[in-house]
Amino acid sequence: MKIVLVAGARPNFMKIAPILRAIKDYNEKAQNKAGARTLDPILVHTGQHYDYEMSKVFFEDLEMPDPDVYLGIGSGTHAEQTGKAMIEIEKLLIERKPDLVVVVGDVNSTLAGALAAVKLHIPVAHVEAGLRSFDRNMPEEINRLLTDAISDYLFTHSPDADENLKNEGIAEEKIYFVGNVMVDSLLQSVEKARQRNILSRMGLKSGGYGVLTLHRPDNVDEKESLSRITKAVTEVSHKMPIVFPAHPRTQKNLKEFGLLSNHQSPNTNYQLLITNPLGYLDFLQLIMNSKFVLTDSGGIQEETTILNVPCLTLRDSTERPITVSVGTNVLVGNDKKKIVAEACKILDGNGKAGKTPKLWDGKAAERIVDVCVRVKRYTLRYQ
């Protein structure tokens, strides 16, 4: 049984890695069972955001095999990326004739993979289905809605995602509550992350710093929004050092807008350390030892919940509300006063404590593979 797994950007790798591991484990067991189907995974890296050399550190940290196919789609507008990915993925599907296409997350490659497959009458499984921010200004929200609408198997990580799908008219028999596959990667990697030396290299002590990440266009492409956030972070950094692994586009805009131009000056009395993006294990050690995290990333909201690290999300909405209702997450938007006030609460020992959501137990990928094994064969539309 051939399964094509599509990954397009770094957040996808953390979701694909445990599925590949679960497929390998399943195949080893299936060899000892008469008549059991074995699975033949084909990993496709579209190269949507990074070329392979830049993303290679994630493959190494997550112990992923090299991709079977690298498409090299590259950057571009949303239409350009989605269109290029669809064209190349369709060629691949016609050539390889898989029984199932698995897409993960909500990037443009996710939608492209689903569209290319469904038009060839190949079943589609969407991992991390049903997440909704209810903000259609977010391109990711459009990708989520459309991918879910055309998928045959919808793997959800929380009960609210199930309800979102049902409210949109998705048949209940298509929905599978399997848990959070990103948590599988995190729990698999915690011990390895503890062995990294990123803290000593940066001169940091556990619990003695905060972490900032920023990459969403609403925050980094508009000068006013980015200015409000940087002013808040600067104020907080007077009280505690902030480590900022900055996305390349964010670094570019900080320079163009003239923000934080003196952050490394010896005359400044605040402590903000801007670095290039880090590998998965280094970054995991960084956040698991931090006092708090400021972010606009969806995945980091989940990771901080599992690690019980207070998280301040620099957005007005989240497609992961369970991290707020159950976890350690607080939405602060780009409101300077709110960011500073919530950060001060944490520094005063009043940070939000959370619990682990149901089925965030490191076994989501096993449940996904169990369902995939039962997928029916398809009739390829284009020969």
Catalytic residue numbers, as ranges: 215
Which of 301, 15, 35 minimizes the C-alpha distance to 179? 15
With 0-12 / 13-18 / 19 or more C-beta atoms within 10 angstroms meaning exposed / middle / buried, residue 358 is middle
304 φ, ψ to 5°? -65, -30
Sign of the torsion formed by the C-alpha atoms of 212, 221, 82 and 173: positive
Task: Dig out the tokens for 222 from the structure.
Answer: 């508009």
Q: Which two tokens stand for residue 40?
A: 């033949």
Beta bridge partner(s), residue 7: 45
Q: Which residue(s) pair with 380 in the sheet?
A: none
Residues forming beta bridges with residue 42, ordered by sequence position = 4
The H-assigned helical ranges of the chain are: 10-30, 52-61, 78-96, 108-118, 139-150, 159-167, 181-194, 198-202, 217-220, 223-237, 248-256, 280-288, 298-307, 322-325, 336-347, 364-372
Beta strand 40-45 with 100-104 is unpaired
